[in-house]
Amino acid sequence: MKVEMRHIYKSFGPVRALQDVSLTVEAGTIHGLLGENGAGKTTLMKILSGYLRPDRGDIFLDGKPIRFASPAEGLRHGIGMLHQDPMDFPAMSVLDNFMMSHEGEFWLDRRRARRALQELAGQFGFDLDPDARVDRLTVGERQQLELLRLLWRGVQVLILDEPTTGISAPQKVRLFETLRRLAEEGKTIIFVTHKLEEVEELCHRVTVLRQGRLAGEATPPYSPQRLIEMMFGRPIPMPERQPVPPGEPVLEIRDLVVGDHRLRLSRVNLTVRSGEIIGLAGMEGSGQQLFMRACAGLVRPWEGSIRVRGEDLTGKPYHAFLEAGVLFVPANRLEEGLIPGLTLTEHFQLVYPNGRYLIDWEQARAEAQRRIRDFNIRGKPETMVEALSGGNQQRTLLALIRTPAHLLLLEHPTRGLDVESSMWVWRRLKERAQEGTALMVISSDLQELLQYCDRIIVFFSGRISEPMATEELTLDRLGHMIAGRGW
Amino acid sequence: MTPEWIFGLAGVLAAAAPLLIAVVGETFSERAGVVNLSVNGAMLLAAMAGFAVAVRTGSLELGFLTGAIIGALMALVVAFASLTLRQSQVAVGLVLALLGRDLAYFLGNPFMGMPGPRVGALPIPVLKDLPVLGPLVFQQSPVVYISLLTVALAWVWIFRTHPGLVLRCVGERPPAAFVRGVPVTRIRYTYAVLGGALVGFAGAAYTLDLKGGWQGPISGIDGIGWIVLAITIFGGWHPVRGAFGALLFALLQWLSLVLQPSLPGIPSQVLNVAPFPLMIFALLLTNLGNTEWVQTALSRLPESSRRFALRILRSLQVSPPAALGTVFEEE
């Protein structure tokens, strides 16, 4: 089905999200939609799927004008969207999720749905247990489930919003294969991303958005430099590696055994020195989160010891770790890191109180203003954190990290951020390392780990590799190791 | 001859019947994401008004209908305040609970102690002569039959039909349901009002069947609405588990009466309130599997026994509809 969007405008209050954006996608192609965070990609796609209504502009399917009042109508016209955060029902079974739609026969035919699910999953080589609860699946599996569901519904136009965020490398390979096959079958695929290499690898054509406006279009062979210029309006220089000489040991882990109800890590030994950046690589749920939470004092180890700058902290409560200068920045910004409903000023005030009992709000506001400027946050002191974009929430989290810190533990610090924001984050982290802080970083972006870390540890279903110097590693080797090969 | 304890248990079943209906009603409402805290007031007002209408018209059917309408209207107020006006369900429900009770006592004054029509027992032919089961289940009033049917139908509806699947999803994550084309607000209204009607019907069952007549503040109906809310949670928003909760509560109350003569050492007040802490204890048990220390303790067990323990805990474990009491705006 050919999709055309012409002269679309959309505002949220005073914010102009889209201005005069047009997009044409031919049937049977994979069309990239590229842009940095907040460029309006998601808004445009929500309009196409019927989730949002445009202020102005027209949409044509196969040349016929259409107007959607709700996602139900979008689905009826064969348009399905995979949202960045999977829009499923975590507490329910895979099968129930698969069957759930706005219309259906009165009696649930679980047997038929189960057969259809298994058949479709088989076709694409996905391995999904129909009776598992969705919250036990990885993000990648949840995405596969959503994809199969939309195909079962018979969608002709498939929109994928940042589908590679949070999925493993093998899952990504499988996803790309699937998309190519669907395009060959004549489906129209719109692939929303902020990653250049994905566009180069997958897309037949790409449209670039910048700050809610159309920045240009391109076809292969792509020039990365040209695409970056379209995205940001100017070229961005890549940073150079400059190793920091490691100093005193900051974190010493001896014979650590820790586990939860799914995994068990045994006999881990590790020494991290000041100024060092250690990368933790591995598929989601391979044990790296558990390990980091143990180092942060959030999970109590079963055996072994954790020392920070010589002080034995084994089994001590979280605040003892905090006092020893261990700081943890979780991946779920709004769930664990920030407090929705509080303003930026209030957040800064919580971490850096300016009085013992009474708060000097005048001064707090000025202080917040200063940090907002320092950390390049797009927001005002009285902005609620949940109103910030992902990149700005991440900057806020970094601004909230207390100084001085001896050990910084970061989970996915650049997840969902565009190239420019990621580079900004890493620049800040490097500065910290140069000041003598030791860092441990979890990331699913292997390229990024290779670029910035001094040593990398690989996790595979509870197994842990020795720390490896980054110079001796290649992307290929790392990719094999996180999939459990070549140990 | 039928032993006496069977009649006792039959009494438990009769006493639990209105509870079952009300619990199913509240379960429907909460599954859709609407916490209707007005239950206690709605039941009292429905009990009084249902009786009053039955006395004036001589029609039991009209009495029950009145009760159901009152329950539905109270629920509609909660739904309108939260779904359309986007106000707190808790605050509106609480105020309605108090208002309903006071209104019932005030308006019900003229009908206090009046004789009125009452639903009689309706033994079911053939089945009533079964041993044990006959006197226990099939010589009851129609309200008991209706209550058991309601539970069964609710289970089939929620877990075996497509509208039931949609209902569960709406209470779980409204934005995701909306993305899939579900008219979320309309569905929330529908189930809130349906649930309210069931609660009102249950209220009328007290004066028209179980207690027989309106006695004002000494009718013994005040407080039951709160128990209904607790049992809904205890039942994990599952009609059959909720039914067990209601039966357990009725059984505990009966036991406290039966045991009084044989336990003279214990003050009767202790036995009277014993069902309430016991219910809290039962609630605790069901959620034990959620706590971190239990999970940690379990993870050290050997694999086989850990699996077994986990399965038992997980089957007991319940999680509330995730969007319970939240506001959802389409677009």
pLDDT in tens, chain B (331 residues): 567 888 889 999 999 999 999 999 999 999 999 999 999 999 999 999 999 999 999 999 999 999 999 999 999 999 999 999 988 899 999 999 999 999 999 999 999 999 989 998 899 988 888 888 888 889 999 999 999 999 999 999 999 999 999 999 999 999 899 988 899 999 999 999 999 999 999 999 999 999 889 998 888 888 899 999 989 988 889 999 999 989 988 998 888 888 888 877 888 788 778 777 877 777 777 666 666 677 677 777 777 777 787 777 777 667 788 888 887 776 5
Instruction: Using the predicted structure, report yes or no on whether residue A98 has a pLDDT greater than 80.
Output: yes
Nearest CB to B322; choose among A73, A91, A261? A91
Mean pLDDT of A60-77: 89
- Residue B56: CB atoms within 10 Å: 12
d(CA B232, CA A165): 39
Mark yes or no for CB contact B162/A105 under 8 Å. yes
Determine contact: A104 vs chain B, CB below 8 A.
yes
- Give, in order, the Cα–Cα distances in Å from A93 to each of A104, A110, B184: 18, 12, 21
- Residue A51: CB atoms within 10 Å: 22
Q: Count the residues in chain A.
A: 487
Would you state the pLDDT for residue A155?
92
Q: Which of A117-126, A144-153, A166-175, B191-200 has the lowest mean pLDDT?
A: A166-175
Report whether the peptide linkage leading into residue A14 is cis, meaning its omega lies within 30 degrees of zero.
no
Nearest CB to B162; choose among A76, A104, A300? A104
Mean pLDDT of A90-105: 89
- Which residue from A minimizes the CA distance to B318? A91
- Token pair, residue A275, equals 């100024």
Pairing between strand A30-34 and A79-82?
A: unpaired
Q: Which of A23-37, A344-358, B6-20, B43-57 has the lowest mean pLDDT?
A: A344-358
Choose among A82, A139, A95, A97: nearest CA to B172.
Answer: A97
The listed range with the strongest mean pLDDT (A133-137, A396-400, B148-152, B246-250) is B148-152
- H helices of A103-188, in order, are 110-124, 139-152, 169-184
Assess whether the region A3-232 and the region A249-482 belong to the same CATH fold.
Answer: yes
| pLDDT category of residue A267 using cuts at 50, 70 and 90 | confident
Domain boundaries, chain A: 3-232, 249-482
Partners of A93 in the β-ladder: A133
Would you state the pLDDT for residue A104?
81
| pLDDT category of residue A80 using cuts at 50, 70 and 90 | very high
- Residue of A79, A88, A102, A106 for testing the chain B interface, max B β-carbons within 10 Å: A102
- Token pair, residue B224, equals 């039951």
d(CA B201, CA B22): 8
Partners of A206 in the β-ladder: A32, A218
Mean pLDDT of A440-459: 89
Determine contact: A12 vs chain B, CB below 8 A.
no
SS3 at position A401: coil
Domain boundaries, chain B: 4-220
May I ask the CATH class of domain A3-232?
A: alpha beta
Q: Where is pLDDT greater, at B57 or A13? A: B57
Task: Provide the number of CB pairs (under 8 Å) joining chain A to chain B.
Answer: 87
Instruction: Using the predicted structure, report yes or no on whether residue A465 has a pLDDT greater than 60.
Output: yes
d(CA A47, CA A70): 10
Burial class (CB in 10 A: 0-12, 13-18, 19+), A437: buried
Q: Which of A12-16, A472-476, B139-143, B220-224 has the lowest mean pLDDT?
A: A12-16
d(CA B291, CA B299): 13
Contacts of B168 in chain A (CB under 8 A): 89, 92, 96
- Which residues does B191 contact at the CB level (< 8 Å), separation at least 6? B28, B29, B31, B32, B34, B167
Residue with tokens 């309210």: B196
- Token pair, residue A125, equals 């080589």
Would you state the pLDDT for residue B51?
96
Q: Where is pLDDT greater, at B77 or A71? A: B77
Would you state the pLDDT for residue B289?
64
Nearest CB to A260; choose among B163, B299, B310? B299
Whether residue A193 contacts residue A224, with contact meaning beta carbons closer than 8 Å, is answered with no
- Token pair, residue A45, equals 């796609």
Ramachandran class of B56: left when φ > 0, alpha when ψ lies in -120 to 50, beta otherwise:
alpha
Nearest CB to A107; choose among B160, B310, B322? B160
Instruction: Using the predicted structure, report yes or no on whether residue A32 has a pLDDT greater than 90.
Output: yes
- Residue A2: CB atoms within 10 Å: 15
CA distance B109 to chain A (A): 47
Residue with tokens 């390979």: A173
SS3 at position A253: strand
Question: Could you name the CATH architecture of A249-482?
Answer: 3-Layer(aba) Sandwich (3.40)
Contacts of A99 in chain B (CB under 8 A): 162, 165
Would you state the pLDDT for residue A456?
94
Instruction: Using the predicted structure, report yes or no on whether residue A385 has a pLDDT greater than 90.
Output: no
| pLDDT category of residue A242 using cuts at 50, 70 and 90 | low
ipTM above threshold 0.90 = no
Q: What is the mean pLDDT of chain A?
A: 88
d(CA A450, CA A464): 18
Mark yes or no for CB contact B181/A70 under 8 Å. yes
Would you state the pLDDT for residue A236?
60
Would you state the pLDDT for residue A241?
64
- Residue B230: CB atoms within 10 Å: 17
Percentage of chain A modeled with pLDDT above 70: 97
Question: Could you report the per-residue pLDDT of A285-319, keeping only the tens digit for each?
Answer: 788 989 999 999 998 888 899 999 989 998 889 99
Q: Which of A348-352, A483-487, B283-287 has the lowest mean pLDDT?
A: B283-287
Would you state the pLDDT for residue A162?
87
Q: pTM for the complete prediction?
A: 0.78
CA distance A466 to chain B (A): 26
Mean pLDDT of A184-201: 91
| pLDDT category of residue A243 using cuts at 50, 70 and 90 | low
Q: Which of A233-247, A270-284, A289-303, A427-441 has the lowest mean pLDDT?
A: A233-247
- Which residues does B5 contact at the CB level (< 8 Å), separation at least 6? none
Whether residue A389 contacts residue A17, with contact meaning beta carbons closer than 8 Å, is answered with no
- Which residues does B255 contact at the CB level (< 8 Å), separation at least 6? none
Whether residue A261 contacts residue B299, with contact meaning beta carbons closer than 8 Å, is answered with yes
Determine contact: B160 vs chain A, CB below 8 A.
yes
d(CA A425, CA A333): 15
Whether residue A419 contacts residue A228, with contact meaning beta carbons closer than 8 Å, is answered with yes
Interface of B with A in 70-129 (CB under 8 A): none
What does the DSSP assignment read for A422-462? HHHHHHHHHHHHHTT-EEEEE-S-HHHHHHH-SEEEEEETT
d(CA B161, CA B184): 17
Instruction: Using the predicted structure, report yes or no on whether residue A328 has a pLDDT greater than 80.
Output: yes
Q: What are phi and psi for residue A33, nearest 5 degrees?
A: -125, 110
